[in-house]
Amino acid sequence: MRRTLKGRGCLGVLVVAALVLAGCTTTGGGTAFGGKRNCTTVTMAVSPEKLALLTELAATFNKDKIDGKCVDVRVAKTSSGAGATLLTEGWPDEPANGPKPVVWSPAASSWGAVVNQRLSDKGQAAIVPTDAKPFMLTPLTIAMPRPMAQALGWPNTPIGYSDLLALANDPKGWAGKGHPEWGPFKLGKTNPNFSTSALSATIAQYYAAVGKVRDLSLEDVNNPQVESAQRGVESAVVHYGDTTLTFLNNLYRADSRGVGLTYVSAVAVEEKSVIDYNTGNPDGILDPGERPRPPRIPLVAIYPKEGTLFSDNPLFILNAPWVSPVQRKAAQAFEAFVQRPENQRKVLRFGFRPGNPSVPVAAPINAANGVDPGQPQTTLGLPTPQVLVRLVEKWGELRKGARVLLVMDVSGSMGDDAGNGDTKLELAKRAAITALDQFKSDDLVGLRIFSTQIRAQEPKDYIDLVPVGPISADREQLVHSIDALAPTNGTPLYTAASAAFDDMKQAFDPARINAVLLLTDGQNEDPRNEDLDGLVRRLRSGSEGASSGGNTVRLFTIAYGRDADLAVLKRMAEATNGASYDAHDPTTINQVFTAVVSNF
């Protein structure tokens, strides 16, 4: 009897313990990622530009209770294009990609349409609602250095894509507008697979080409005459990329050296970025102690006369199987919270227009910052999801061709463990092979490896395994060659970078984006060549101003692993108005490679 009672007592203790544990568990699966106890966790995946603001708002919101229960809104950064891809794939690999979001906030509603269409193509139900309110707004603009805009008639003459197309197709370039010193017209535009401004710009280009403002159709997108116009615009592109910040940072540096007007003539960016640039904060992030300094030549926002699109930053409460009714309700409460006037006024601080029209549009959205709150005159209709998806595919076919030399470090340290059982070289090889799929069939790609004394005769420090040629013909050879790479000696970084730059410049192809993609895991280990300043001077003089001869080769660098010298690689890349990418964590190399190749 006593045993039975004792047994019951134990059972009771277990039940109580289980209940206590259950009570300690957050609602909706928040425990796996450290949500507050006894709270409903609302995970949010938001595009980078609103991370700081939404984090601040969430902290305030989390202090109150909803229906007597606490809510823990947790905000994580995910770029719009990456979020769209992850949602299409069911948001795999939560440890790497973050928790499945209850709320997804890309920069624009168009991404929601893309996700729903991709799911529909896979026979799956839509998960993104179509009636979300805008949280904050910013229109897509064509940012131009003020003198260039003035040369096109700004501010008295409306300017549009048709004017840019005419300028891009004019062999005289800016000379036709009385400014031969500015060279050809150069457009900065990102990759619409990644970037909202690029997606919006691509939509706007198509509308401009067909003369519509709504209801862009598949027939329009597939029209050969429209294709021709698209090729014309794309031909003026400097390079692509995953973020407009690369252009703005490069332009800002070029401006500080007095050569801004030769780097890029126009960049498709959001109005908010024009404000950031003109206030001396081109990437929109002020580091501690950083003092913004306005550029010498400010940008002005051109609102294309054919119309434009707004980035509306919706808060999509997903209709996904992992979203519980309790989480949905909490998310709705947060959505209502961010729409309150006192919270909407905060978006102005970040250069956005409030989504709630009960809050006035005010400074910094004003002429002093190169923007016009009375613009745009026409908002273009968002195409149907089918058209959107086709449009992005079509861009892949019509974009400017690339001529790229892939330069890979095969020094001995590449054989070190990457932290997950693979060597760094193994991970890099897989990422490079995967990235080859991002090139289009008529792109030209070559493969060079480097390490000290890698061969007996000159040049001793690098070998061209696959000469630059059409990837359609060389793909197998590239894959085979990358797959066979093995670690060898030291890192003659400066020699390799300089030689690759020179070789690509020598055979420059003006119809393509000419670039060197250099991956290294270390620092320069070559006593024969240690002159970094000299290298940077050479790269710069070969990339901008009259000394470049117009044959601009961009250097894109990947700092791979803990020992890579990111600062040096950044200097080298920026000297050519390219960009440097950080893959200090070797397991991120796949994403980083994808981001780098998005430039071509």
Q: By CB under 8 A, name the binding residues for another protein.
A: 131, 133-134, 137, 139, 158, 213-215, 305-308, 310, 353-361, 374-379, 381
C-alpha 118/C-alpha 386 separation (Å) is 9
Q: Which single residue is written with the structure tokens 């095969």?
A: 410
Considering the complex, state which of residue 190 and residue 308 has its C-beta at the smaller distance from another protein: 308
Minimum CB–partner distance for residue 138 and another protein (Å): 11
Minimum CB–partner distance for residue 302 and another protein (Å): 13
Q: What is the secondary structure of 326-341 as a DSSP string? A: HHHHHHHHHHHHHTSH
Q: Which long-range contacts (CB under 8 A, 24 or more apart) does 581-586 make?
A: 581/556, 581/557, 583/558, 583/559, 584/559, 584/560, 585/419, 586/418, 586/419, 586/420, 586/424, 586/427, 586/428, 586/560, 586/561
Closest listed residue to residue 194, CA positions, set 85, 103, 284, 89:
85
Q: What is the secondary structure of 73-111 as a DSSP string? A: EEEEE--HHHHHHHHHTT---HHHH-SPPSEEE-SSTHH
Considering the complex, state which of residue 34 and residue 360 has its C-beta at the smaller distance from another protein: 360
Considering the complex, state which of residue 30 and residue 376 has its C-beta at the smaller distance from another protein: 376
Minimum CB–partner distance for residue 333 and another protein (Å): 13
Minimum CB–partner distance for residue 368 and another protein (Å): 17
Considering the complex, state which of residue 127 and residue 140 has its C-beta at the smaller distance from another protein: 140
Considering the complex, state which of residue 155 and residue 180 has its C-beta at the smaller distance from another protein: 155
Considering the complex, state which of residue 320 and residue 361 has its C-beta at the smaller distance from another protein: 361
Minimum CB–partner distance for residue 374 and another protein (Å): 8
Burial (CB count within 10 angstroms: exposed 0-12, middle 13-18, buried 19+), residue 63:
exposed
Amino acid at 594: T
Minimum CB–partner distance for residue 341 and another protein (Å): 8
Considering the complex, state which of residue 355 and residue 578 has its C-beta at the smaller distance from another protein: 355
Minimum CB–partner distance for residue 204 and another protein (Å): 13
C-alpha 445/C-alpha 515 separation (Å) is 10
- Phi, psi of 46, deg, nearest 5: -125, 150
Considering the complex, state which of residue 133 and residue 460 has its C-beta at the smaller distance from another protein: 133
Q: Are 418 and 424 in contact (CB under 8 A)?
A: yes
Minimum CB–partner distance for residue 215 and another protein (Å): 6
C-alpha 355/C-alpha 489 separation (Å) is 57
Token pair recorded at residue 441: 């069939």
Considering the complex, state which of residue 193 and residue 343 has its C-beta at the smaller distance from another protein: 343
Distances (CA, A) of 491 to 11, 97, 194, 597: 66, 33, 33, 23
Token pair recorded at residue 144: 């131009």
Q: What angle do CA 324, 330, 336 make, to 5 degrees?
A: 135
Q: Which residues contact 290 (CB under 8 A, 6 or more apart)?
A: none
Q: What angle do CA 303, 309, 311 make, to 5 degrees?
A: 110
Q: Which single residue is written with the structure tokens 């002005």?
A: 300
Minimum CB–partner distance for residue 83 and another protein (Å): 22
Minimum CB–partner distance for residue 104 and another protein (Å): 19
Q: How many CB atoms lie within 10 A of CB 511?
A: 9
Considering the complex, state which of residue 26 and residue 109 has its C-beta at the smaller distance from another protein: 109
